[in-house]
Amino acid sequence: MSEASFYSNAEGYWREVPSTVDGMLGGYGSISNIDLNGSKAFLQKFLGEGEGKTGTACALDCGAGIGRITKRLLLPLFHTVDLVDVTQEFLDKAKTYLGEEGKRVGNYFCSGLQDFLPEDGRYDVIWIQWVIGHLTDDHLVEFLRRCQSALRPNGLVVIKDNVAYEGVVPDEVDSSVCRDLKIVRSLVGRAGLRIVHEEQQMDFPKEIYQVHTLALR
């Protein structure tokens, strides 16, 4: 498949997905709480006052959809949150879904991550969940490099995503790939980032991929 159709097929897929939590999670809306609680426990290891701690001024939600993660994870912990997603309809929905707290959203960016240029030095945390499979290897490396430039001092890039058992597993349905951990780690290294913490999300249904969370600096 050509790179152009890899991206355009994915955009086409998401355009047909309902703007709901269940839609964002491919019918697994029931795992949302487990996911968010796991993410919160993970993130809180880094936030706070003191040497080497990550600030709480501004976060970026990548592949944000309707703002599921922004609403329950990022807005409660950060003063300002920006959202980026390829589907304008999801971002429009986010404006009502986020409710009153949505007033603290700084920007809604409609863009694929392969084209997105985050502002230098803006973010304490860049949260990238269930979206790296929509980027080619080279685009993922380039995007992570741009993320590194977009971090504030002691900032953190977090990838949370499915990992394959071995190699790269393509998904024709939503035009994405699932990589194994070794490949993800090597792409992170190519981008010049190091993994400061890594854990597996527990208590997800057995039939779905393992999900791992990686904190990068």
User: For residue range 19-30, what is the model confidence (pLDDT) as tens digits?
Assistant: 999 999 999 999
Give me the residue spans of the domains in the chain: 3-216
Q: Identify the residue whose tokens are 């990068």.
A: 216
Give tens-digit pLDDT for 65-117: 999 999 999 999 999 999 999 999 999 999 999 999 999 999 999 999 999 99
Q: Where are the beta strands (DSSP E) in the chain?
A: 58-62, 80-85, 105-110, 123-129, 151-163, 168-171, 176-179, 195-200, 210-216
Q: Quick one: 57 exposed, middle or buried, by C-beta within 10 A (0-12, 13-18, 19+)?
A: middle
User: Is the alpha carbon torsion for 124, 160, 141, 185 positive or negative?
Assistant: positive
Q: What is the pLDDT of residue 94?
A: 98
Q: Which two tokens stand for residue 161?
A: 């995503």
Is residue 1 scored above 90 in pLDDT?
Answer: no
- Residue 142 pLDDT greater than 90, yes or no: yes
Q: 168-197 pLDDT, tens per residue?
A: 999 999 999 999 999 999 999 999 999 999
| 199, β-bridge pairs | 213
As assigned by CATH, the class of the 3-216 domain is alpha beta
